[in-house]
Each structure stands twice: as C-alpha cells, then as structure tokens.
Structure 1
Amino acid sequence: MAARRGAVLLAMAIGGSALIATAVAAAAGGADAAAEPSVITQPWPDPVSALPVPQVRSVVAARQICDLPTMREASAADDDGGMVLAAGGGAALRAAVVSARADCIDLADPARIWVIADAARPVPSGWSPSDLVVPETPSIAGTRLRAEAAESLDHLHRALDAAGGGDIALTAGYTDQSGAADPGAAEHRTGLAVDVVACTSGDCGAGADIATTSQGAWLTQNAWQYGWITTMTGREAHLRYVGTEIARAVHDGGYSSLQQFFAVPAR
C-alpha cells in the first residue's frame, strides 16, 4: 500500500491523469511492469511550409497637385516649366488635369505655355504677350515670339543646320489679328506659335510641300525635343511651343495636338 501511494504521489508531481494511471499500473504489476513505462503521445499541428503572404492593395491618393509646396512656389514665380516639373512631368500633369486634380492649371490662360487656343477658344481680346522678341532664325515677315519660345526656336534652328537638314525661314509668328484666315491664328495670338517654310538655294517656300523636304522630316522627328508640337500644313509647318516636358509627353503618347493631349473635346 505504501508503494502504491508513493507511485501516485510521484505521478501527480510529474503531472497528468494519464501518468497517474501508468504509475498505478506499474505499482500493481510489480517490477516488470514498472520497468516498461508507457509512452504518452499527443497530436502536433502539421508543419508550416510557408507563412501566408498578406494581400496589400496599392491605392493612389487623389491629391490636388496644386497643394504641393513646389507647385505653389513655381506658380507664384510664374515658372510654367517649374510647375510642370513639380507635377511630375508632362504625363503626370496631363493625368492630373484630366482627373480634375489640377485646379491651378488653367488651360484658358493665354500667358501659360499650356494654353489651348483655337477657333472655339480664342485668346481674350485686348490681351498680348509682354515679352515679345524677334528670333535670330531667318524670317520673311519680321516674326516675333515670346522670349522663351524664340530662344527655343533658335536652338532648334542651329540643331537643324548642324544636322545638315537644310535651312528654314519663318513666315508667321505672333499676330494681334484674331480674325486672321490662318487655321492656327488663335495660337499665333499667344506668341507661342510659328509657321516655317523650307529654303532651297536661297528660295524659301517655293510651293513645295514641306513634309516632303529634309527640313520637314527633321522637324517631325526632332522638334519635340526643343519643346514644339509640329503640324504639317502644306508648304508650311506649324510649330506650337509647349515646353520640353509637355512636348515629350505629347510625342511619347502619340498625341497630335494639345486638345487631344488634355482630352479637351473639339468644338
């Protein structure tokens, strides 16, 4: 009896009702039973081969780009190029405008390089650029442009000459005539548009379709690098200055005009 009580107490110390039963059986069965204790097993969870990967969904906040400090600084300085860069580039600016997240980008402001001017959206009467200059590029009609556009055009002209693409001459730039017959007259009112013709042996614009000339081919391929959108209009090429960032986005996206770029419906 004393041996049995000792075995029970020992089992309780170890713990578990199953051990108590084993100890009691060992005491009752003698030395042989005690010498062969039962092995107690318990189920274990299956091994984990890999931890589950949480599913994280990226959500882009619909933030007004005009709230960005860099955008406010560039806007206060009337730095159009700086505003485009603050927006993240031309493509990012377009995305913000199209999704109504760019209240500070006014497509009707004639002072901005992104202004949309056409027959349905004329430049306000009485407005004129304050920084008109005469480019160094040869001109048939004493063409004037806004200073930024003129500087860019002169860079373009020098690059065309260096590439052996031939020479060009300007036939139209800024005009204060809102009722001109030229299809691009509204853009000419901004001081950001110019018409050019190809020159051959000193003869400029001799009726040849500029798209068939080396000058036209070069302009089509390269003018965007200097900030221009190019449209061939018979013997002339119509160039519209929008800055290098927007021009790159227009070119890369395959757009043909600012209206198409900013998803503004034709009227």
Structure 2
Amino acid sequence: MRLLSTRRRHPATKTIVLAMALFLMGALYAALAPTPRSSADGGMSTQVEEGKALFAVGCSSCHGLNGEGTSQGPTLMGVGSASVDFQMETGRMPAKAPGQQLPRKENQYTDAEIAAIAAYVDTLGPGVQIPEPEQYQSSELEAANGEERARLIARGGELFRTNCSACHNFQGGGGALPEGRYAPSLMGVEDKHIWEAMRTGPQQMPVFSEETLTDEDTKAIIAYLENLHGQPDSGGLSLGGFGPVGEGLWVWVLGIGGLAAVAVWITKKGVRAK
C-alpha cells in the first residue's frame, strides 16, 4: 500500500491511467459494437457495386452522384429498396423529364438491374425493404371456405373505403386530384406494387406505415381488390365506376329532367285546349 501511495504521486501516473482507460474503452467497444451489415458479404458487395455503376449512368443526373438529390430530383437517402423497386418496375423511373406526376410506362431495366440499384440505394440509409411474398399474398384467403372468404374480403373492403377510396374511388378505378394530379387506377396492378406504394407513399400518396395498417390489413385490402376486379362484367353502362355519385347524377338529369319535360308538355297542352 505504501508503494502504491508513493507511485500515485509520480508525474507519469495520470498519463498511464488515461492510456489504460482509453485502451479499456476501445476493447469494450470492439467486443460490444454490432457487426456491420452484410457489406462484407462478397455477393452483396458485388451487387451493390453493380447497382452503383448503373445508378451513376441512369439516375445520378437527377438524384446526384451519391443520391443526395438535386434541383431535378429528390434525395434517395433513406427511401429504402422498396421505393426503388416500385418506381423502376412500374417504369415511372427513370423519368423522361421532371413533372407533377409520373405515369406508369414500360420498364427499361431487367429484374437483376433493378435489384442491384435497389441494393445500392439501400446502403445510403435505412428505409422500407422490398417485401417478401408472405407480406402481401393472403394464403388465408386461398384456404378459407366461403364464409371466411367473404369475411376477409368484407374487412378489406371496409379498410379500402376508409383509407383509399377518397382518391382511388370505391373500386380502385382512380380519380382526379387537385393541381392537375390524379390517383391512378389499381386495376391490374401487381400485389407487390400495391404493398410498396402503401408503405413508401410515392408522389402525393400518403405513407401507410405498419403502425397504421399492418401487413394483415394490406393483404385484406389486396384480397378485396382482387375479388372486385375479378368479377365478370354484367354489361350495361358502368358510368365510370364511380358508384352512387355517378348513378345519382344520371338519375337526377334523366329522371327529374324527364319529369320537368312532361310537366311542361302537359301545361302547354292545357293552354292550347283552352
């Protein structure tokens, strides 16, 4: 103890203690720090490098060489691979020119190229990942009997009418929005793309996170749309598929208008008789 007491007053004691403390902290950090994400994996790093090269050629002119964004396009940091998958598989990206709303068009990239670009963008920041099939395909619907199937579809219809029909109309046919924008039709849209659009909120569409609508909710909505769009055409005028609004307009124009015309005709006939 006497030896330690005398050495404690040595001029180099503080330096030695500080060096030991730093060494100890470094050792603890190396032991407890999380391992880096699969960037060390050979296959993934190769895919990311391929995606980076494709991104530099086809995307960087608008989004910046490192995805930081420019005056021609938003930043891609933190958008996630699902957003890239949706925008590129539907042909909305790359865009011919910036605009209020990008329409769906023919895809210009292969699945492997899209996956590579999505993998690269995913390294720019955490975001929504490309979903697995079980996240948007309802196996319950396929295995359900008639009553259970009807219940699942009805639940999906309720969720769709509550959260989606204001823009896409009650059957997903699309509709006009303010400032020259529009909600696209959902007829024929792939299940995965509906899931990705709900999770990433492309353009003016709001983001429906898992806290708002779970994967079970999204599968119910997709099941409702599949059942609705799979119904046979019974003929007649669809009136744009706008439901009671369009039908009520025509009832008013033809019904009330017809009654008014008959009333005018009867009145004129009575005047002539006198």
Give me the TM-score of the superposition, normalised by structure 1: 0.23
Q: Which one has the bigger strand percentage?
A: 1
Q: Which one has the bigger helix percentage?
A: 2
Higher-Rg structure is 1
